[in-house]
A and B are shown apart, each in its own frame.
Chain A
Amino acid sequence: MRRPPRSHYLPRTRAGWWSVLSFLLLFALTQPPFVTGPANRIEPLVLGMPFLYAYLLGLYLLLIGVLIRALRKGV
């Protein structure tokens, strides 16, 4: 057996890069400073929900979507 030639921290396929980068980008939007700055407001209400709550709910659903897409693409 041999040592793996390349790091496992970097994706090796296009689908892998897409999944990792989109997950990290969306996840960053759920963290400070975004969540404590521009998103930290009540209005405008979104479907009757306060903005911060709806903003995070939307991001969480998108993140789950990224995971399911990764599964379907075999990442």
Chain B
Amino acid sequence: MPAWVVATSLIFVYLVVTILLGFLAGRRSSGDLEDFLLYGRKAGFVVLYLTVAATYHSAFAFLGSTGFFYTHGIGFWAAGAWTVLVGAISYVIGSRVWALGKKFGYITPADMLADFYESEAVRVATATVSVLFTILYIQVQARGLGYILSSASGDRVSYEVGTLILLAVAAGYLIAGGIRAVYWTDVLQGVWMYLAVWVGALVLTWKLFGGPGALWERVVEERPDLLTLPGPHGFFTPGMWFGLVVVLSFGIVFQPHMMLRYYTAASASTIKWLGATTPIYLMTLYIPAAMVGLGGALAMPGIEVPDRIFPEMLFAHAPAWLTGLILAGATAAAMSTLDSILHANMTVLTRDVYQRYVRTDATQAHYILVGRLIVVGLLGVGYLLSVGTFEFLVVLVSLSGAGALQLMPAIMGVCFPGRLLTTRAGVLSGMGAGLVALYLTLIAWPHPAGLHAGVWSVAVNFIVTFAVSRFTPASSPATVDRIHGELERFVYGERS
């Protein structure tokens, strides 16, 4: 049987399994809005661990990262720093977000910010930033899925059709089972993608080079330019290294699909365990990615699309059944992020827009129905956005991450009581200034002084937020005391 038939069939088998899981999850749903959107705030450690890991790692982990190691060398190992930082952020900020969500019934990031800043404008701005920049992320995942299916089928399934099929499957099980379907499929996807990238990398490394040690020896001998900074094309300058670390840690965590996960945890302890241990999964996934990318630079130099190096190597050097299983893992990586983004956007649009401004007094079943219709709409938008010209996946990820980064001063103001209170005028001005700075430093004058646009934009945001907050009225003492007092009790308890 031809390799492409085996590979494509295995991906479709995987898709059928996810659809079944989605429908099983739908049958377990209680019909309650909080259950549909937040797993009833009962997600345990294993489920939450795998959904966070699978959601954080996307098509980018399989395609973009191997392509980056292939092109720019070891500089991409900066990924270890940003994934460890994601764990620390979850540990410190995630647990605080969980505590406030549990106490005050928040469902979206905008709920928390609007409550603390006593401002509907803050709610609208947060929801807008959340949706606007994560829609870009839908595009990234959809493109990754298109790459994978068209690669697996040897371009017999076109990129456009592949994208549509996989988007429809993810949207389908989300509609059927809400976040429970997302979490259950993420468990499968998280395990599958991790095993797939490790097995694929080890098989290729042993077959082509005789093992990881021999691979390193060959890279040292033949491509030493890949083993130091800034890499063969000068990409990993100090400013870019630091910038990517900031953008792909804080910027990803502050996206709504990650923030919502904190609300869903069963306990604070679950979140802290999550923060301390997720970097093990997140960071170690880039070890095999380095093997693939650097090995590919030796074995298959000069391929046209570097992001395709992993599938290209598999087709050339691995058995068809293994290639299929691994590409199904790549599909899992993309779908687990995509379904979470679709869910987050559905939640934000249902809760922060529809329930707040369109129908405030409808039944829970009505809001769930609206949420499902929103997913259909997002499916269409995501598809239209994704059938454009190809770019390096990491550039798009950075753009999305840098957008969500603009929520950072506002979130820090809520979660970290300090000497200076940030105010609604401060955070709104900061967000606006940060977005303008992001446009200027990403599009008009890309990465001034070699420093990533995300860092420039968030620096401007912080400065403006604090400057304006000094001269504008804070929220009422009752609100500040209620929220910061709850954090004081949660973090320090009797010791304070």
Binding site for B on A (CB under 8 A): 1-9, 12-13, 23, 27, 30-33, 35-36, 40-42, 45, 48-50, 52-53, 56-57, 60, 63-64, 67-68, 70-71
Contact = CB atoms under 8 A, between A and B. Distances in A.
Contacts of B45: none
A25 B245 CA distance: 16
B298 interface: no
Contacts of B239: 32
A33 B229 CA distance: 11
Given A35-B241, A64-B279, A8 B227 contact: no
Interface residues of B, number: 53
Contacts of B485: 1-4
Interface stretch (B106-114, B352-360, B372-380, B476-484): B476-484
A38 B477 CA distance: 51
Given A1-B481, A8-B487, A31-B245, A53 B74 contact: yes
A24 B328 CA distance: 38
Most buried by B among A49, A50, A52: A50
Contacts of B272: 71
Nearest to A30: B81
A33 to B, nearest CB: 7
Nearest to B492: A12
B238 A36 contact: yes
Contacts of A35: 78, 229, 241
B417 interface: yes
A64 B482 CA distance: 34
27 contacts: A1-B485, A3-B480, A4-B417, A4-B485, A4-B496, A7-B416, A9-B416, A30-B81, A31-B81, A31-B241, A32-B239, A35-B78, A35-B241, A36-B238, A40-B229, A48-B212, A48-B216, A48-B217, A50-B216, A57-B287, A60-B80, A64-B84, A64-B279, A64-B283, A67-B279, A71-B272, A71-B273
A27 to B, nearest CB: 7
Contact of A67 (B88, B213, B290, B417): B88
Contacts of B74: 50, 52-53
B228 interface: yes
Interface of B is mostly: helix
B77 interface: yes
B132 interface: no
A47 B103 CA distance: 50
B238 A42 contact: no
A68 B88 CA distance: 10
B451 to A, nearest CB: 11
Contacts of B287: 57
A49 B229 CA distance: 16
Contacts of A67: 84, 87-88, 91, 275-277, 279
A22 to B, nearest CB: 12
A71 B228 contact: no
Contacts of B418: 7-9
B202 to A, nearest CB: 15
A68 B487 CA distance: 22
Contact of A50 (B91, B220, B417): B220
Nearest to A72: B276
A64 B224 CA distance: 29
Contacts of A56: 77, 80-81
A53 B227 contact: yes
Given A48-B212, A52-B74, A67-B279, 19 more contacts: A1-B482, A1-B485, A2-B481, A12-B492, A30-B81, A32-B238, A48-B213, A48-B216, A50-B74, A50-B227, A52-B77, A53-B77, A57-B77, A60-B80, A64-B283, A67-B84, A67-B87, A70-B276, A71-B273
Contact of B491 (A8, A42, A53, A70): A8
A72 B174 CA distance: 37
